[in-house]
Amino acid sequence: MMSRFVGRVVAVTGAAQGIGAAISCRFAAEGAHVVMLDRQTIPDDFLPEPAAKYKVDVTDHAAVNAAIEAIHRQFGRIDVWVNNAGIYTSAPFTEMRMEDWQRALNVNLTGAMVCMQAVAPFMVAQRYGRIINVASLAGVIGFPNSAAYCATKAGVIGLTRAAAIDLGPYGVTVNAVCPGTLLTEMGYKVDELICKQNGWEPGTFLKLRAQELPVRRLGTPEDVAGVVAFLASEDASWLTGQALVLDGGQFPF
């Protein structure tokens, strides 16, 4: 394993499980001081030596700002910020409840914006920063019965591109990753919902999706973590405003 991030301070939202957990472990393995944020309690033994942990809901704007200020006080800098916190909602388009729509908007899009807006001044001041947003393939091509999820993830891609333009002159890059179907808790939830809607046995959707992909397997959180680490590295210093699709070849085939 490389050690590209020794001395770097890396913060990850939605870090308690799935993609966020894998990203946290990857950066820790490469020498970073990892700060884990999640609305769930993060176990004490999650990482061998986690730099810091915060129980924060990204929809609580005051808590987000307080956490970022505390991280900066502790370490004196924030080098990488990964917006991974997100939720998935599913319903036929005409049956989408406005409360579910608003919740997805608050977490997936506004939550990302609040975090970016709060951390950006520190990165601008130090003339260095990497912001990586976890969007979704759903924000690129659309998924059935997923209007809120698709719309908010498309919004994250637009937000990424706009922020990249504004922050680029200060040495801050902003990119997004757009995973396809993954073997995560969210992936299994999607499978459960789609199988229920179609009268299929649980696991059928994931099996069919894997068979459709050129690589013949679904993605893992570790697959995403590797790309996020690349985007945070010096190898990607001239890469900004991009939305990288990680889907095993599903799109545009």
Residues 171-194: tens digit of each pLDDT: 999 999 999 989 988 889 888 888
At residue 142 the predicted structure's pLDDT band, cuts being 50, 70 and 90, is confident
**Lowest mean pLDDT segment, chosen from 8-22, 36-50, 68-82, 95-109:** 36-50
What is 9-180+220-245's CATH number, 3.90.470.20, 3.90.180.10, 3.40.50.2000, 3.40.50.720? 3.40.50.720
CA dist 61 → 71, 111, 117, 118 (Å): 15, 8, 11, 9
Give span(s): CATH 3.40.50.720, the chain: 9-180+220-245
**pTM score over 0.85:** yes
Structure tokens at 2: 């490389």
Comparison of pLDDT for 188 and 152, the residue scoring more: 152
Comparison of pLDDT for 209 and 132, the residue scoring more: 132
Q: What residues are labeled active site?
A: 149
Residue 252 has pLDDT above 80, yes or no: no
- Upper half-sphere CA count for residue 49 (Cβ side, 13 Å): 5
pLDDT of residue 56: 96
pLDDT tens per residue across span 92-130: 999 999 999 999 999 999 999 999 999 999 999 999 999
For the chain, list the strands marked E by DSSP.
Answer: 9-13, 33-38, 52-55, 80-83, 129-134, 172-179, 243-246
Q: CA geometry: angle at 237 spanning 231 and 239, to 5°? A: 65
**CA dihedral for 18, 88, 139, 112, sign (positive or negative):** negative
Cβ-contact 18, 221 below 8 angstroms: yes
Residue 48 has pLDDT above 70, yes or no: no
